[in-house]
Amino acid sequence: MARPLRVGLLGYGTIGCGVIKMLTQSGLDIQKSVRLVKVADLDQERPRPVEVDRSLLTKDAEAVVRDPQIDVIVELIGGVGAAKKYVEMALDLGKDVVTANKYLMALYGDELFERAVKNKARLLFEASVAGGVPIIQVLREQLSSDRVISINAILNGTCNYILTRMEQVPGMDCAAAVAEAQARGFAEADPTLDLSGMDTAQKISILVRKAFRTRIHPEDIDLQGISGVSNVDVRTAVEMGYRIKLLARAKRVEDSLEVWVAPALIPEEAIMAQVKNEFNAIAINCEAHQEQIYIGKGAGMMPTAGAIVGDLYTLLNHRELPSAFAERSLDLRLLERSDIKCRYYLRLTVKDQPGVLARVSSALADKKISIASVVQKENSSDPARGVPLMIITHTTTVGAIAEAVRVIDRESIILEPAHTIRIMDVL
């Protein structure tokens, strides 16, 4: 019988607990061929939902990496400080590495693969994107010979849960939905990375590298989070036949790439609009395979742990794996943010007086933005607070709408800053 694969785990947090459970308590066949040898974490006293044999615990992550009896390092520390140091150290020692670290892979994936190749090690990162959806494997294997045209994805289970609950519960605002998500374990104590959209930006940059063979820094991506989405927006979207989702989009536009992360109104009949709660969804459109949609849980302990263990299975069964983050780099040009085109939903809070719509329309017309429809709702409870005015535009550019909003917000009739959401009638 072959010697079991010996694993050292760095990080005993939520995902680490899931990995421990699958490798030691699940009864899965992998327990016969994979052995958990050490678990490194600085905090060994904090109660966890999954216990581990105390003899496996250590605070010395470097000792785990350097242990000659350990074959694979599973990195679940997060960030790009200590995590990068230990991943590089493991690869330099010729050890295989499995990581769920999206930020590390988004920033340093190419460099880490070069280090892995130099030392005849393997680097797997399925868990870094979309939790339980095996999208990296799909891009690496099934779609590797095809030409990807576009990716539209819901990549943050926390945000999708929040937007779902705002839709389902009358009057629930974003703050209340965040608190509920935290109580159910779908949101971190500090949810800023999720709500800002940066978590999604890191993930789409990894998919862009794999699918379009182009390096894009997450901070260069056109980004808008969900904190500004109100219950009024969610309710109005439903009335108009849409659902609001935090969408990540990457699309070829001639020799450039349109890449952005932002809330978007999606037609209610679209499959993406029907993806609820902590689920993720990724729609990939290719020349040969055409459109494929992959759906699975993207938040929570077990989906991500399952992806980690899936990578361990891959290490067991595949001696040879791709030797680069992405083959044959294309490095397509990133389309300027101001040139991105779409329709827009525009929400204004205005004074209840004659001439308001004319002044707003004039500001939009000056930027060559055409209005498709207008919805104005009466605020009978307190007219002094103004009335919500919702405008749907025809196709325009991000740059034009931004310039128009700057002009509109300076008008004396505007009581609150304008809020915009993109409309994606066709994904």
Per the annotation, where are the binding residues?
Answer: 10-17, 102, 188
- E strand segments, 225-336: 242-253, 256-267, 279-286, 290-297, 333-334
Q: d(Cα 200, Cα 152) in Å, to the nearest integer? A: 12
Q: d(Cα 291, Cα 60) in Å, to the nearest integer? A: 47
Binding-site residues from annotation for NADP(+): 10-17
Q: d(Cα 135, Cα 175) in Å, to the nearest integer? A: 31
Closest CA to 40 of 21, 20, 22: 20
Binding-site residues from annotation for L-homoserine: 188
Do the beta carbons of residue 194 and residue 211 sit within 8 Å?
A: no
How far apart, in Å, are the Cα atoms of 88 and each of 92, 124, 126, 256? 6, 13, 18, 33
**Amino acid type, 422:** R
Q: How many CB atoms lie within 10 A of CB 79?
A: 10
Q: d(Cα 257, Cα 251) in Å, to the nearest integer? A: 6
Longest alpha-carbon distance in the chain: 84
Q: Which of 21, 38, 84, 203 is catalytic?
A: 203
Q: d(Cα 294, Cα 202) in Å, to the nearest integer? A: 19
Q: How many CB atoms lie within 10 A of CB 297?
A: 19
Residues with Cβ < 8 Å from 242, sequence gap 6 or more?
A: 265, 266, 267, 268, 273, 423
Closest CA to 144 of 213, 215, 214, 216: 213
Backbone angles phi, psi at 249, to 5 degrees: -130, 135
Binding-site residues from annotation for NADPH: 102
203 is an active site residue: yes
Q: How many CB atoms lie within 10 A of CB 354?
A: 7
Is residue 181 classed as helix, strand or coil in its secondary structure? helix
Is residue 294 classed as helix, strand or coil in its secondary structure? strand
Q: d(Cα 72, Cα 8) in Å, to the nearest integer? A: 6
Residues known to be catalytic = 203
